[in-house]
Amino acid sequence: MSRALKNNVYNTLIWTAAVLSIAILVFLIATLIWKGMGAISVGFLTSASENFGSEGGILYQIIGSLALTLCAAVCSFPIALGVAIYKSEYVKSKVFQNITDTIIYSLNGIPSIIFGIFGLIFFVNILQTGVSWFVGGIILAMMILPTIILASHQAIRSIPNSYRENAQALGLTQWQVIRAVIFPRGINGAFTGLLLGLARAIGETAPIMFIATAFSGVTVPRTFLEPVSSLPTHILALAQQATNPQALQNAWGSSLVLVSLVFIFSISALVRRIQYSKINY
């Protein structure tokens, strides 16, 4: 085969692959929007679900999902920021640096269903909390810790050492340096990471399905130890009755709402990342 011909074959392959990939991805989004729009109305978003979720709306599923993510955010943010600061400002030994890195990457790699099983054993059975949204939030918080830590750490690392040295030269204690120099940048990074983490957390089903959610009868939680309904588990229940047209329509509607929430988080993260990548020291 001549080189020119080979070049053409390669080109065709690449173009075909690109068109195919993009077609698949466009198909996904188009399906979600097309099928989902048919189900969504004001009534759908503001009423409770009825009759196995095939009738009524998804108000309490939305509230439940938001409660879970809010809880995850509140629990994970301060801890992640602390780890990021410790990692970048305090750890001097290479060995401990490697250990924390390994730990963080391990936590990041744990499959989501394993978090669910862990939560079931540790919280529901050992601590006897019962099925509760608060426990679900804590589990989701553990799951997104690495994302926030890494984003925050990256932001802190990009601060030039001269800033720290100047601050120290002014006679500030280490914690004052951190508060004045490290904190603002670290929080920014952590916030971007948090948005990315929440985009993942809100769509997760496996970690919460044993420990945080219930099928029906739940409204706005009145205590910490009560189950909620959530969008992903609602879609799971509806997907199982996919030949019931009404249930299927509500499933598409719930999916579009869920994907929109995910995209709100991830687009905000993307925008922030682009903005902050322009800051130069």
Partner 1 sequence: MLVFQNKIGKGYVLASTYLCIAVTLLIFLILFWNSYPALSTVGFDLFTMTWNPAKDQFGVLSMLFGTLAVTAIALLIAVPLGILTAIFTSEILPNRYRLYVKSAIELLAGIPSIIYGLIGIALVSPWIATLFELSSGRTLVTAGILLAVMILPTIITLTDDALHNIPQQYRETSKGLGLYPFEIIQKTLVPIAKRNIAGAVLLALGRALGETMAVMLLVGSIDKIPEPFYNLLSPGQTITSKLGREVGESAFGSLHFSALNAIGFLLLLLVITLTIGTQVYMRKGIRTV
Partner 2 sequence: MKNILVIGFVLLALSCSKPKNDTVRVAGSTTVLPVISVAAERYMKLHPDSRIIVNAGGSGVGVNQVGSQQIEIGMISRDITQKELEQYPETSFQIHAIGRDAVVPVVSSELYNAGITSLTLEQIAKIYRGEISNWKELNGPDKDILVIDKEASRGTRHVFMEIVLGDKEAVAQGADLVLGANNEEQTALTQSDAALGILSNAWLNDDVKGISILMPDGSIVEPTLENIINNKFPITRDLVLVTNGTPTGQTKTFIDFIMSPEGQEIVKQNGYVSISK
Q: What are phi and psi of 251, to 5 degrees?
A: -65, -45
| Residues that bind partner 2 in the complex, under the rule CB under 8 A | 50-52, 74-75, 78-79, 81-82, 124-125, 129-131, 134, 213-219, 222-227, 237, 240-244
Q: Which is nearer to partner 1, 17 or 45 (CB)?
A: 17
Q: Does 272 bind partner 1 (CB under 8 A)?
A: no
Looking at 33, 52, 118, 244, which residue binds partner 1 (CB under 8 A)? 118
Structure token pair of residue 156: 């802190």
Radius of gyration of the chain (CA): 23
The binder of 214, among partner 2, partner 1, none, by C-beta within 5 to 8 A per type, is: partner 2
Instruction: Please state the closest distance from residue 279 (CB atom) to partner 1, in A.
Output: 18
Q: What is the DSSP letter of 1?
A: -
217 binds, among partner 2, partner 1, none (CB under 5 to 8 A by kind): partner 2
Of 4, 169, 154, residue with least CA distance to 84: 154
Q: Alpha carbon of 73 to those of 37, 131, 190, 266: distances in Å?
A: 29, 20, 11, 14
Q: Minimum distance from CB of 80 to partner 2 (Å)? A: 11
279 neighbors 163 (Cβ within 8 angstroms): no
Distance CA 79, CA 225 (A): 22
Looking at beta carbons only, is 15 or 224 nearer to partner 1?
15
Beta-bridge mates of residue 213: 228
DSSP state, residue 50: E
- Out of 30, 127, 267, 279, the only residue in the binding site for partner 1 (CB under 8 A) is 267
126 vs 266: CA distance, rounded Å: 35
- CA-CA distance, 267 to 275, in Å (whole number)? 12
The distance of closest approach from Cβ of residue 11 to partner 2 in the complex, given in angstroms and rounded to an integer, is 41
Q: Which of residues 175-194 bind partner 1 (CB under 8 A)?
A: 175-176, 178-179
Give the residue with the Cβ less far from partner 2, 131 or 155.
131
Q: Which residue number, 92 or 222, has a Cβ lying nearer to partner 1?
A: 92
Q: Which helix (H) or strand (E) holds 175?
A: helix 174-177
- Judged by CB under 8 A, the residue of 50, 55, 101, 165 near partner 1 is 101
Interacting positions 57-96 with partner 1 (CB under 8 A): 78-83, 85-87, 89-90
